[in-house]
């Protein structure tokens, strides 16, 4: 016992200090204080997920007949095969109307503090509901019209009844929102970075690990942190100078000021999640930047006041690629839409 204690003490003495730990061991511990792996689903007390709701929600996600010109579905601007975005600077909705901002991915979105770039949607359910009457999205004149259309497609009744049993009239806009929300709450994309956070230090390559370290050292993770590597707070875009000086934005977007009318919220946006960011160009709220390398460089200068080296940019981009995840197979299997 005395010998054992002595050995332990000796081992403690030779344990290297934090700064001389093997780089990735140290890195994993640091990363775990800042980031967390994805949950299996993004649950909600208000909208418990059931298979029946998810089935209905997935079907509704592809439904075009609930838009004023019958061409817009959720999937129009959130194409699963494009990682829940549409590849456009700004989305095109009904009757070719341009949306005010870039389409944010629906993947891993339900866990954010709010939805949309300026946080003017409380949840994925709220977003799905309001999209129905959004002038540039589905463009319906009213929720009543949405319900009239859904009730007119006979095949939906059975799906709604199964998803919302024991309701006198289950085919409602509220239930549309809950069903689409339930589906979106299943859209998590576990990535090599999650494997790393769970302890597999070989899940990231050496350059990716250097990038992760740089990402934390520079201060990117001050805002891009947590489960979603972003999505958890609001922040002014352009701390060191106006963002449009570097992004080349054609219009100046006042961001969250439109929601709160507070001067302090001018040019404030939700910090976007960086999950799957390598797969979702173009970048920023107005899709003004096409290349991820440019987006990283601009962020360094605008937010941190730092001119990043090409090496730093390369490392960070390599790290960001470790956030590219796997879309759940079930989400990729197209539903058959009910007939009129």
Size of the site for its own copies (CB under 8 A): 32
The smaller minimum CB distance to its own copies, of residues 37 and 328, is found at: 328
Smallest separation, CB 116 to its own copies (Å): 20
Q: Does 328 bind its own copies (CB under 8 A)?
A: no
Number of Cβ within 10 Å of residue 243's Cβ equals 26
CA dist 109 and 78 (Å) reads 11
Stretch near its own copies under the rule CB under 8 A, chosen from 31-39, 239-247, 253-261, 328-336: 328-336
Smallest separation, CB 180 to its own copies (Å): 15
Smallest separation, CB 89 to its own copies (Å): 9
> Contact letters (x/-) for its own copies, 275-294, by CB under 8 A?
---xx-x--------x----
The helix or strand, by DSSP H or E, that contains position 270, with its residue range, turns out to be strand 268-270
Q: Does 83 bind its own copies (CB under 8 A)?
A: yes
Two structure tokens written together for 79: 């194409």
Q: Does 325 bind its own copies (CB under 8 A)?
A: no
Among 144, 137, 129, 142, residue whose Cα is nearest residue 57: 129
Sign of the alpha-carbon dihedral angle for 105, 108, 113, 115: positive
The smaller minimum CB distance to its own copies, of residues 78 and 270, is found at: 78
Q: Does 87 bind its own copies (CB under 8 A)?
A: yes
Q: Does 183 bind its own copies (CB under 8 A)?
A: no
Smallest separation, CB 158 to its own copies (Å): 16
CA dist 216 and 27 (Å) reads 10
Q: Does 250 bind its own copies (CB under 8 A)?
A: no
CB-CB contact of 318 with 186 (8 Å) = no
CA dist 180 and 114 (Å) reads 16
- The DSSP 8-state label assigned to residue 339 in this structure reads P
Two structure tokens written together for 152: 């007119």
Q: Does 314 bind its own copies (CB under 8 A)?
A: no
16 CB-side CA count, 13 A: 8
* Residues composing the chain: 340
Smallest separation, CB 248 to its own copies (Å): 18
CA dist 60 and 176 (Å) reads 8
Smallest separation, CB 282 to its own copies (Å): 9
Q: Does 198 bind its own copies (CB under 8 A)?
A: no
CA separation (Å) from 175 to 36, 153, 229? 31, 15, 30
Smallest separation, CB 290 to its own copies (Å): 7
CB-CB contact of 243 with 267 (8 Å) = yes
Q: Does 100 bind its own copies (CB under 8 A)?
A: no
Smallest separation, CB 218 to its own copies (Å): 24
Taking CB under 8 A as the criterion, the residue among 26, 44, 50, 64 binding its own copies is 64
CA separation (Å) from 115 to 18, 175, 241, 268, 270? 39, 19, 26, 14, 8
Two structure tokens written together for 165: 């049993």
CA dist 188 and 208 (Å) reads 22
Taking CB under 8 A as the criterion, the residue among 21, 34, 79, 133 binding its own copies is 79
The smaller minimum CB distance to its own copies, of residues 307 and 336, is found at: 336
Smallest separation, CB 313 to its own copies (Å): 17
Q: Does 340 bind its own copies (CB under 8 A)?
A: yes
Q: Interface residues with its own copies (CB under 8 A)?
A: 59, 62, 64-65, 69-71, 79-83, 86-88, 92, 95-96, 278-279, 281, 290, 327, 329, 332-337, 339-340
């Amino acid at each position: 016992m005395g010998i054992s204690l002595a050995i332990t003490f000796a081992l403690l003495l030779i344990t290297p200090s934090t700064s001389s730990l093997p780089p990735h061991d140290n890195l994993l511990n640091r990363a775990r204080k800042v980031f967390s792996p994805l949950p299996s689903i993004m649950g909600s007390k208000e909208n418990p997920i059931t298979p029946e709701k998810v089935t209905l929600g997935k079907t509704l996600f592809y439904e075009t007949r609930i838009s004023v010109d019958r061409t817009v579905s959720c999937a129009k601007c959130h194409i699963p095969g494009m990682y829940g975005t549409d590849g456009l600077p700004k989305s095109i909705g009904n009757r070719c109307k341009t949306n005010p901002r870039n389409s944010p991915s629906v993947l891993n979105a339900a866990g954010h503090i709010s939805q949309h770039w300026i946080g003017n949607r409380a949840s994925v359910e709220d977003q799905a509901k309001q999209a129905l009457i959004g002038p540039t999205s589905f463009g319906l004149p009213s929720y009543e019209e949405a319900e009239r259309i859904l009730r007119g497609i006979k095949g939906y009744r059975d799906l709604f009844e199964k998803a919302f049993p024991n309701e006198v009239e289950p085919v409602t806009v509220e239930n549309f929102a809950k069903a689409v929300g339930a589906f979106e709450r299943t859209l998590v994309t576990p990535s090599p970075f999650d494997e790393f956070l769970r302890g597999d230090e070989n899940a990231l390559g050496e350059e990716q690990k250097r990038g992760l370290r740089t990402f934390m050292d520079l201060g990117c993770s001050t805002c891009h942190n947590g489960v979603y590597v972003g999505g958890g707070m609001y922040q002014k875009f352009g701390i060191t100078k106006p963002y449009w000086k570097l992004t080349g934005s054609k219009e100046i977007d006042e961001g969250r000021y439109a929601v709160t009318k507070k001067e302090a919220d001018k040019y404030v946006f939700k910090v976007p999640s960086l999950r799957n960011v390598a797969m979702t160009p173009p970048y920023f709220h107005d899709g003004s930047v096409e290349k991820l390398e440019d987006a990283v460089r601009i962020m360094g200068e605008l937010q941190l006041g730092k001119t990043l080296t090409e090496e730093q940019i390369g490392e960070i981009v390599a790290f960001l690629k470790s956030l590219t995840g796997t879309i759940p197979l079930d989400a990729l299997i197209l539903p058959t839409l009910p007939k009129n």
